Amino acid sequence: MSSASFRATLPGSTLTRIFAQCPVPTGIAIVLLLLGPVSAVAQQVDTMVVRLAPITVEAERYSQELAAATSAISRLELETVEGMPSDNATDLFRMLPGLGFLSLDGTGHDAQAVVRGFFGGGDAEYVQVLIDGVPVNDIESGLVAWDLINLHAISRAEVLRGGSSSLYGDAAIGGVLNLHTDRSPGRKMSGSVHYGSHATIEAAARYADQIGMRRFSVGGMVDRSDGYRERGDREVAAVHLEGDLLADGPVRGRVSLSSAWRDVSKPGPLTDSLFAVSRQSVSPMFAADRIDERRHSGSLLFESATDGPLTWRARARSALRDARDISTLALAADFADTQDRDLLTRSLGVEGQVIGRGAFGQLVAGVDVAFNGLESTYYQFFTGTSADYENAGPLTRGDELVSGDGSRRQLGAFVQAESKRFGPLAITAGARLDQIADRYTPDGDAEVENTHNAFSPKVGLNVEVLNSPDARVNLYVSAGQSFKAPAIDQLFDQRMTPVPFPPFAIAISNGELDPQRGDNLELGGYGQVLVPGRGRVEASLSLYRMDMRDELDFSFAEFRLINIGKSRHEGAEVGARYFDRSGVTAHVSYAYQSTTFRNGDNEGNYVKAVPRDLIDAGVSYAHTSGIGAGLRYSGARRIFLDDQNTRGLKDSDRLDAQLSFTKADATVMIEVFNLLDEANVSTGFPDPAGGDGRFLYPTAERYIKLGVIYRR
């Protein structure tokens, strides 16, 4: 399959432009070779006992073969990457093509996803994260507490990239990451203990068994660290309980309960001058920033127990979060405002879907209903220069400033059909209707309302180019529309920002904001091939373009958020994984993200803070004696920190290594992160007052972890 054949398909020679700007053509060429002339390779494959098994995913809300999908989907079995060095959940998920993370704490525990050029900058999230189908994003912003994910409970991760509003509605414009817990039968025990630099102690465990036909599991985790920066301490704990209510009849029932606690400092960015002295330091303006929160959630699931022509699923879920968040807003290179917020959020959701299967293919239809509420109160904390903060002594909460309560009601109905009645051609078509109604009542003031409707259609084609016992190649093309409603805080946040003009304090939120909307076009392919006498290769390629309108931007004229932006998101995502019989595994993923303004003074410029290149590659080896080793490289390149594209960020490179020894059910390992001790910066922003300085979020220097993992 040549790039010329793609070029004829996409209007405006989008592919020509993408390949011309990619600085890493080698990775793309490898995947094109795998997806294109793979039939020639297949003819040379020796007869082997092992045959390619279909890879199934549930990213589109029903079980399907990955090769037949009409969207960019990647699947990661966590047990296959245990030989790769990884420090936390986001470290693992970076192996999925097109899924990148920018770290605000420098180690990836406090990270934000960047997918297809969408990056919320700490204020919003463009990726919906689900654990067994239950959303875990925060209500007010959509952000995710990545450090609460217990990897011992997760068996696989699936990411659906690109606009997915036709199935998931709001918050899925960048993609959907669905994490699946291990529900395989039999008794299972796993646990781990790690100790490392910065007085880091991590422990996690999970036990699963069954009584009769009813399966249950219990698990937990604790994580504490002094942090690699001053005042960068972190304490996290979580417990989880899950069990079957019904397991031996036509209906299965399952209950899930979890609680978590986080007390985490937020050391914040450093100015250029402070970064030059020590990236381990903290600016006095951000020294008090931290979040202390409690989370409790539960879900109840009922579903049909057999895979007949008609199956169904119904779930009810609830969540409660109580948080105190001390947060600083930099207003100039040497002036900031810190406020203390109490936040209480509640969520109740109900969803149901039915799946019909027959000679025509599959059809899924369902409804999602969610009621979210919050209570917010801001207290005065401190405002001043860096010297004022440093000389103020211990800072404490002051008088109440503003308070209020709000709600968000979400109603959605969707349908998607997949037909395979046309030989090698499969057709997918679907749509979703959404209504989002927001209300907020400031204490002592009138209620503010904002209600919006959205229609999100999608159509796609998938053609089977090759299907043999030793090789398979499928190509797809799809088009659709997506939307992203403004976060509740973007609409109604009452935090007042000090300004040097009347009224001298302004809230940048805007209750009249409209959803961002986009038109999506995508094509790509999936391939698998057996390597003669060795193993197998899995590969994927996706090429996309999304034109966004009504994007949110900050207006200095109105000094608040408004809908003025238009942008184009286009790029390429390639991924390949190799599994060798000798114990060697390898992966490479590369994402090229070209995100440009389509209107305004910066038309044609790249959107700030978005890396144009994301790279992750690694190789591991497990010897039959139990000795193992892994080496992994991650990089982010070509980042501008301003909309004018005059201030760039140094390219980021990180090399991690792991050595391990496995005996029976236990593995002892040592991991070294940032092996070459690169002085990397994850992200940042220019001086808000227009000066020449920058605020930078540094990543950790070289650090080490020793660990023991037990699995049985």
DSSP-based three-state secondary structure for 199: coil
Report the domain count for the chain: 1
Per DSSP, 115 falls in state B
Rama region for 491: left / alpha / beta (φ>0; ψ in -120 to 50; rest): alpha
Mean pLDDT of 376-401: 94
DSSP-based three-state secondary structure for 32: helix
DSSP-based three-state secondary structure for 665: coil
* Contact (CB, 8 A) for 196 and 705: yes
**Distance separating alpha carbons of residues 438 and 486, to the nearest angstrom:** 10
Nearest to 9 by CA among 634, 689, 543, 596: 543
Q: Which domain holds residue 654?
A: 3-711
Residue 360 confidence (pLDDT): 81
- List beta partners, residue 491: none
Q: Is residue 248's pLDDT more than 90?
A: no
**Distance separating alpha carbons of residues 346 and 371, to the nearest angstrom:** 8
Provide the whole-model pTM: 0.90
Residue 552 confidence (pLDDT): 85
Confidence of residue 660 (pLDDT cuts 50, 70, 90): very high
**Distance separating alpha carbons of residues 520 and 79, to the nearest angstrom:** 34
Confidence of residue 420 (pLDDT cuts 50, 70, 90): confident
We report the CATH number of the domain holding residue 583 as 2.40.170.20
Residue 545 confidence (pLDDT): 97
Q: Is residue 15's pLDDT more than 50?
A: no
Q: Is residue 658's pLDDT more than 80?
A: yes
Structure tokens at 315: 């779930």
Mean pLDDT of 361-367: 94
Q: Is residue 456's pLDDT more than 90?
A: yes
- Per mean pLDDT, which range of 1-10, 162-171, 331-340, 469-478 is the poorest? 1-10
Confidence of residue 501 (pLDDT cuts 50, 70, 90): confident
**Distance separating alpha carbons of residues 204 and 89, to the nearest angstrom:** 13
Mean pLDDT of the chain: 89
Rama region for 638: left / alpha / beta (φ>0; ψ in -120 to 50; rest): left
The helix (run of H) or strand (run of E) holding residue 165 is: helix 165-168
Residue 22 confidence (pLDDT): 57
Residue 51 confidence (pLDDT): 60
pLDDT tens, residue by residue, 23-77: 544 444 433 333 343 333 333 333 333 467 788 889 888 888 888 899 999 999 9
Give φ, ψ of 119 to 5 degrees: -145, 125
Confidence of residue 170 (pLDDT cuts 50, 70, 90): confident
List Cβ neighbours of 565 (8 Å cut-off, separation of 6 or more). Answer: 548, 549, 550, 551, 552, 553, 597, 599, 600
Helix, strand and coil percent figures for the chain, each rounded to 5: 10, 60, 30
Q: Is residue 671's pLDDT more than 60?
A: yes
List Cβ neighbours of 154 (8 Å cut-off, separation of 6 or more). Answer: 78, 131, 179, 180, 181, 182
Q: Is residue 183's pLDDT more than 70?
A: yes
**Distance separating alpha carbons of residues 278 and 275, to the nearest angstrom:** 5
Q: Is residue 249's pLDDT more than 60?
A: yes
**Distance separating alpha carbons of residues 549 and 704, to the nearest angstrom:** 45
pLDDT tens, residue by residue, 68-103: 899 999 999 998 888 999 999 999 999 999 999 999
Strands (DSSP E) found in 443-583: 448-468, 471-484, 497-498, 505-506, 516-531, 535-555, 560-580
Residue 172 confidence (pLDDT): 79
Per DSSP, 309 falls in state S
- List beta partners, residue 554: 561
**Distance separating alpha carbons of residues 447 and 441, to the nearest angstrom:** 4
Mean pLDDT of 438-463: 94
Q: Which residues of 26-61 are buried (b: 16+ CB within 10 A; e: fewer)?
A: ebbebbbebbbebeebbeebeebeeebeebebbbbb
Residue 20 confidence (pLDDT): 53
pLDDT tens, residue by residue, 629-654: 999 999 999 999 998 999 999 999 99
How many other C-beta atoms lie within 10 A of the C-beta of residue 381? 20
DSSP-based three-state secondary structure for 699: coil
Helix/strand/coil (H, E, C) string of 582-598? CCEEEEEEEEEEEEEEC
Confidence of residue 128 (pLDDT cuts 50, 70, 90): very high
Which residue would you say has higher pLDDT here, 171 or 532?
A: 532
**Distance separating alpha carbons of residues 163 and 71, to the nearest angstrom:** 9
Distance of CA 283 to the CA centre of its chain: 28
Confidence of residue 415 (pLDDT cuts 50, 70, 90): very high
- Per mean pLDDT, which range of 219-228, 304-313, 697-706 is the poorest? 304-313
Distant-in-sequence contacts of 386-394, Cβ < 8 A, 24+ apart: 386/283, 386/284, 386/285, 386/334, 386/335, 386/336, 387/284, 387/334, 389/284, 389/285, 389/287, 389/336, 390/284
